[in-house]
Amino acid sequence: MRKYSTQEDIELLVKKQRDFFRTGKTLDVAWRKIQLKKLKNAILEHKQEIEEALFVDLGRTAVESYLCDIGTTVLEINEYIHGVKKWAKAEHHFSGILCFPSVSTKVYKMPYGVSLIISPFNFPILLSLGVLAASISGGNTAVIKTSSKSAESTKIIKKIIQSVFDENFVSVVDGGHDIADACLETRFDKIFYTGSPNVAIHVLEKAAKNLTSCALELGGQNGNWCIVRKDADLKDAARKIAFLKILNAGQVCININQVAVAKEIAEEFLQFIKAEFVRQIGENACNNEEYPKLISDVAYQKCEEDVLKYKERVVFGGTGNKKLRKFSPTVIYPVNIDEEIVQKELFCPILPITIFEDQKIDELIRTIEEREHGLALYVFTSNTKWAKKIMSSMQFGGGCINEVVMHLMVKGVPFNGTGHSGMGAYHGEWGFREFTYPKTVLIGRNRFNLSLREHPYSGKKAKLKLKILKFLEK
């Protein structure tokens, strides 16, 4: 696979892919399924190399790599393989009496054309090859712009793509912000970006010049909330919250950014969460080989600086190993709901805890709603009726009641954000829909045509036409 280092290189690549798209080969659903199977098999064949790359980039064990990237991507591809034939079928609609005699209309599911997939570092396989599967299922070609931060993962992604696809169909572009901008200056037909809201604004600005359709999967400006009410199963809540905060060292877009705990049980919850961190990862997480690392020195420094600002309120953790780029899960308590640390996305293993009076839960909800919409919301309570009401009325991407993160694993449902946490949706059929657009075609007939639509619109005929039209519109 050649190196794409200039905008001219990328423009030439896009031209080649657009020429290939216009051959109509990708419109064949059977052909798409073959490509998806090739992608799946290549991932499984290179499983060990992927694990090694993820260990170098993020310090992940083989189990965590399979759980978060490899196995999840394979499951995603399987869903496209099994469902694309059904999803791609044209819909048949009755045109209505008003259109008589042309009573047959079809809605075709059309690919956009050449897609650009800009993937992040935190789940470099899932958020590049998993999104690629959605693009392929929709009948598009694709250019994947990988993150420069996860260099080893980029190498194996390139190897996988090169082993199964011609670059005129799928290609990988790596490099820094200059290459990303070169991609964004080039006209694509669909852009799928996963990352931060600030960069997403830049992506939209560039896409607007070509009126390119965009899907954005973002972490959220203010981070994701978790609410623990006084009637919650505290041990269960602590166990699940600790697991999610440890996962990928907190570098997860649907991670818990901060926990709001009912004042009545706050001290008890603190003891449970401390105990769970110790049980799951040990007294000093930085000494545990299974504990992942932060992606870069800059990420480590940001995490360390945030902890130092609140060092007097660190009740657990607070230590790191700069050389290994590991920072222990760190609980900061108590934190006021208006403080800086709970008004930004942390993307690291820091866990601020705010407190609220359980009887004033509505005030907490109002405060959360006044801020930018999160990608996820998690609530722990035995009052399922209340939880369902909150989940059905608040605006956020998705979430769980008495559970964390697992909504991501459910087949047949969308994964998405809203507002500052994103736009568009994918996974399974929703991914197919994201990479296609509906095209309506009425099939006309040349016999028994009605003259209702034609002039004259005055005189006796006009009155009759109007009566008939009003009748047909009922």
Cβ atoms within 10 Å, residue 318: 19
Supply the pLDDT for residue 453: 81
Per the annotation, the verdict on 276 as an active-site residue is no
Q: Provide Rg for the chain, Cα atoms.
A: 26
Supply the pLDDT for residue 111: 98
**From residue 93, how far is each of 106, 108, 326, 441 by CA, in Å?**
6, 11, 58, 10
Q: Which two tokens stand for residue 434?
A: 């994201």
- 68-100 exposure pattern, b = at least 16 Cβ within 10 A, e = fewer: bbbbbbbbbbbbbbebbeebbeeeeeeeeeebe
Domain boundaries, the chain: 7-220+424-437, 225-371+376-413
Supply the pLDDT for residue 189: 98
One digit per residue, the tens of pLDDT, for the chain of length 474 reads: 577 888 999 999 999 999 999 999 999 999 999 999 999 999 999 999 999 999 999 999 999 999 999 999 999 999 999 999 999 999 999 998 888 889 999 999 999 999 999 999 999 999 999 999 999 999 999 999 999 999 999 999 999 999 999 999 999 999 999 999 999 999 999 999 999 999 999 999 999 999 999 999 998 888 899 999 999 999 999 999 999 999 999 999 999 999 999 999 999 999 999 999 999 999 999 999 999 999 999 999 999 999 999 999 999 999 999 999 999 999 999 999 999 999 999 999 999 999 999 999 999 999 999 999 999 999 999 999 999 999 999 999 999 999 999 999 999 999 999 999 999 999 999 999 999 999 999 999 988 887 778 888 888 888 888 888 888 777
d(CA 217, CA 18): 25
**From residue 86, how far is each of 82, 130, 198, 426, 444 by CA, in Å?**
8, 20, 37, 17, 26
The single residue listed with the structure tokens 């203010």 is 222
Catalytic-role residue among 253, 286, 348, 400 = 253
Q: Which two tokens stand for residue 391?
A: 């989940």
399 close to 377: Cβ distance less than 8 angstroms: yes
As a CATH number, domain 7-220+424-437 is: 3.40.605.10
The single residue listed with the structure tokens 């505290």 is 234
81 close to 33: Cβ distance less than 8 angstroms: yes
Count of alpha carbons within 13 angstroms of residue 454, beta-carbon side: 3
**From residue 470, how far is each of 88, 458, 460, 474 by CA, in Å?**
36, 16, 16, 7
Catalytic-role residue among 64, 217, 345, 372 = 217
List of E strands, 66-162? 91-94, 104-111, 114-118, 141-145
Supply the pLDDT for residue 447: 87
Cβ atoms within 10 Å, residue 449: 13
Supply the pLDDT for residue 1: 56
Supply the pLDDT for residue 311: 96
134 close to 435: Cβ distance less than 8 angstroms: yes
d(CA 269, CA 215): 38
Supply the pLDDT for residue 12: 96
CATH topology of domain 225-371+376-413: Aldehyde Dehydrogenase; Chain A, domain 2 (3.40.309)
Helix (H, G, I), strand (E, B) or coil at 347: coil
Per the annotation, the verdict on 217 as an active-site residue is yes
